[in-house]
Amino acid sequence: MKVYRDIEDFNCNKPVVLTQGTFDGVHFGHRKILQKVVADAKSIGGESVLLTFYPHPRLVLYPADNDLKLLNTLNEKSELVQEIGIDHLVVLPFTKKLSRLKPEFFVRDILVNKLHVQKLIIGYDHRFGRNREGSLEDMIRFSKEYGFTVEEISAQDVDQSIVSSTKIRKALLAGDVHHASEWLGRPYKFQGEVVHGMNIGHDLGYPTANIKIESEYKLVPKNGVYAVKVKVLGKEWRGMLNIGYNPTFTDKNWSIEVHIFEFHKNIYNQSVEIAFVQRMRDELKFNSKEELIQQLKLDEINAKKILNIN
């Protein structure tokens, strides 16, 4: 897959089948659309194109009043799109100037003149152009004027339950990683770097790796304790992860800490990937270190059961 950070670099000598949008999460519904783009491009001897935007439009339009967290970093999105088989990923920088572009000018200047679209495939709720003024009816009208075809993927064709990125974000913020993973079609993941912490876990007999998320906009699920899979040093392990403030201790800085079962290597400054399997409980305050250790033992038993570790 070719990735373009400058639309002027885009070059394709075959018929272009294209879809566009933020595609945050590349969830089950998104994949239905992208798979259709790939299949239709192959059927006419063309190439498939995804036009996406970075940063997310809401981060540009409402910078002072925005708590939006994203399901994917741009690198994660790129990897997921490549797995589906898209030939070209065009990343258009989203700016206030772009946001003011009238729908017809967006179609003419970007889709037609820059990307040479011959067929456009869009989801059932697609809007485009200034203030999201452009509708499906507008797009069909423009397509006749500029010589390309449009196909809408209905809500029923995408998924009966109407999956959305917003719905997945809400589930994760509520700690419901199970349903979020179902809607994504894969476990929810994030990546980060192992940094130095307070070494509290080591004193409890459960050493942990403190993780600094690679992107400030990446969504972190609700505080609590989770059974997780951990990819580090090229291998996958199992473990349990705590998100929160360590309320039993005086140091109440928010942190993400993972204890990896049967793992004894120094991984400071290493990149790790966390895949969420199941939320086990809320973060709790205990009356003593001994009570916390007893709970950690129970958490270990529970996590290993969830993760099918004998």
How would residue 63 be classed by pLDDT, with cut points 50, 70 and 90? confident
Are the beta carbons of 217 and 59 closer than 8 angstroms?
A: yes
Q: Is the pLDDT of residue 66 over 80?
A: no
**206 part of a folded domain:** yes
- 137 and 186 share a domain? no
Average pLDDT rounded to a whole number, residues 64-70 = 82
In the structure, what pLDDT confidence band is assigned to residue 44 with cuts at 50, 70 and 90?
very high
Which residues are CB-contacts of 252 (< 8 A; sequence separation ≥ 6)? 245, 246
Domain that holds residue 279: 181-306
Distances (CA, A) of 175 to 66, 248, 309: 21, 21, 23
Q: Is 171 a domain residue? A: no
Which pLDDT score, from 0 to 100, does residue 153 have? 87
Whether residue 7 has pLDDT greater than 80: yes
pLDDT of residue 249: 80
Look up the CATH number of the domain holding residue 212. Answer: 2.40.30.30
Q: Is there a single domain that holds both residue 58 and residue 155?
A: yes
- The DSSP symbol for 134 reads B
Are residue 141 and residue 201 in the same domain, yes or no?
no
Instruction: Say whether pLDDT at 161 is over 70.
Output: no
Let me know if residue 172 belongs to a domain. no
Domain contains 174: no
The residue that leads in pLDDT, 196 or 302, is 302
| 3-state secondary structure (DSSP) of residue 303 | helix
Q: 150 and 45 share a domain?
A: yes
Q: For residue 151, name the pLDDT band (cuts at 50, 70, 90).
A: very high
pLDDT at res. 68: 87
Q: From 36, 17, 38, 41, select the one nearest 157 (Cα to Cα).
A: 36
Same domain, 219 and 118: no
Looking at residue 232, its amino acid is: V
CB-based burial label for 107 (10 Å; 0-12, 13-18, 19+): buried
pLDDT of residue 201: 77
Examine the pLDDT at 158 and tell me if it is beyond 70: no
189 and 222 fall within a common domain? yes
Question: Which of 163, 193, 222 lies at the terminal end of a domain, its last residue?
Answer: 163
The confidence score (pLDDT) of residue 157 equals 54
| 225 and 296 together in one domain | yes
Tens digits of residue pLDDT in 204-223: 889 999 999 988 899 999 99
The enclosing domain of 66 has a CATH number of 3.40.50.620
**Contact call for residues 111 and 117 (beta carbons, < 8 A):** yes
In a domain? residue 54: yes
- pLDDT band per the 50, 70, 90 thresholds, residue 291: very high
Domain boundary among 163, 196, 224: 163
Task: Say if residue 23 is in the same domain as residue 142.
Answer: yes
Confidence of residue 30 (pLDDT cuts 50, 70, 90): very high
The pLDDT value recorded for residue 187 is 97
Residue 258 and residue 292 in one domain: yes
Q: What percent of the chain lies above the pLDDT cut of 70? A: 96
d(CA 115, CA 3): 13
The stretch 282-293 carries a mean pLDDT of 92
Question: How many structural domains is the chain composed of?
Answer: 2
Residue 246 amino acid letter: N
Domain assignment of residue 170, yes or no: no
pLDDT over 80 at 53, yes or no: yes
Name the CA radius of gyration of the chain, rounded.
23
Distance CA 110, CA 112 (A): 6
- Bridge partner list, 19: 50
- pLDDT: is 147 or 123 the higher one? 147
Name the pLDDT band for 8 (thresholds 50, 70, 90).
Answer: very high
